[in-house]
Amino acid sequence: MSVLIEISELVQKGKAKDVKVLVANALEEGISAKEILNDALIAGMMIVGEKFKAGEVYVPEVLISARAMNQGVNILKPYLTKEGVESVGKAVICTVKGDLHDIGKNLVKMMLEGVGIECIDLGVDASEEKVVEAVKESGAQIVCLSSLLTTTMDYQKDIIDALKDAGLRDKVKVMVGGAPLDAKFAEGIGADAYTKDAAEAAEVALSFLK
Ligand code: B1M
């Protein structure tokens, strides 16, 4: 069995310690960090999502898998990001109100920091007031919004509207992402960009700062 499939299965079983060991082994074998992230860790988590939807696993199992995935991501972090890069700008980042999913948001933050973008992380369940305040205080040029639930994705528009009302919309680029979104949705709510994954988010954010 390939090591990537093994890691994916260990994520599904929530075996955090074994995930750490096999991720390190995979790196030693010369498999790229990006491949391990996408084809093993995220792939495993996606299968957990399908099982969750089908009622085959429940919230506690999903959390245990999420923890195992995060342990793997921690091993990959130095390989995905460059240490000591100079700051090129600031981004306010959060998962929007009503939504507690933060694995994707944390990956985006990690990749942004990796290209030198300082992140003001508002965590999960962030209100429009919190975002507006953070933009005012930090002078951030970018706002990154994450939603994993169809019930919270519309909240991204409320945040964009609040930025408009506060006279800040022209001063920031708003980037959105998360599994239920696409470019059409982003355009519809007046966002500046939709990106499908963390690596693309870092590329686009950097292009906005140049
Ligand atoms: Co939840 N959950 N969950 N969950 N969960 C989903 C999202 C779901 C699709 C599962 C399913 O039914 N198949 C479903 C949503 C259905 C829908 O909305 N239509 C769902 C549900 C229903 C729920 C609850 C309502 C369940 C319940 O309680 N009955 C509940 C809601 C809680 C809440 O938020 N209020 C809930 C709870 C949870 C846990 C707490 C158990 C846990 C979250 C733990 C955590 O995040 N700390 C959890 C998890 C782990 C998942 C799944 C299984 C995995 C999500 C994940 O981390 N994926 C998920 C199934 C799935 O997505 N297929 C599911 C890995 C991660 C790397 O991918 O976050 O998509 P993702 O990020 C990607 C891209 O989307 C992009 O970059 C990342 C990759 O590089 N990206 C951005 C993300 N944000 C971005 C922002 C950007 C740019 C790119 O800004 C510029």
Q: What is the pLDDT of residues 127-146, one digit of tens each?
A: 999 999 999 999 999 999 99
Q: What is the mean pLDDT of residues 182-202?
A: 96
Strands (DSSP E) contained in 22-147 are: 89-95, 117-121, 142-146
Domain boundaries along the sequence of the chain: 3-83, 89-209
Compute the mean pLDDT over every residue in the chain, rounded to the nearest whole number. 94
CA distance 88 to 12: 37
Q: Taking a C-beta distance cutoff of 8 angstroms, is the pair 7, 23 a contact?
A: yes
Place 188 in a pLDDT band, splitting at 50, 70 and 90: very high
- How many angstroms is it from 166 CA to the middle of ligand 1? 30
Mutate to test the pocket of ligand 1, among 34, 42, 47, 52 (most ligand atoms within 8 A of CB): 52
What residues form DSSP beta bridges with 193?
A: 175
Mutate to test the pocket of ligand 1, among 12, 99, 101, 119 (most ligand atoms within 8 A of CB): 101
Q: What is the pLDDT of residues 72-119, one digit of tens each?
A: 999 998 888 776 677 899 999 999 999 999 999 998 998 898 889 999
89-209, superfamily in CATH? Cobalamin-binding domain (3.40.50.280)
> 3-83: which CATH architecture?
Orthogonal Bundle (1.10)
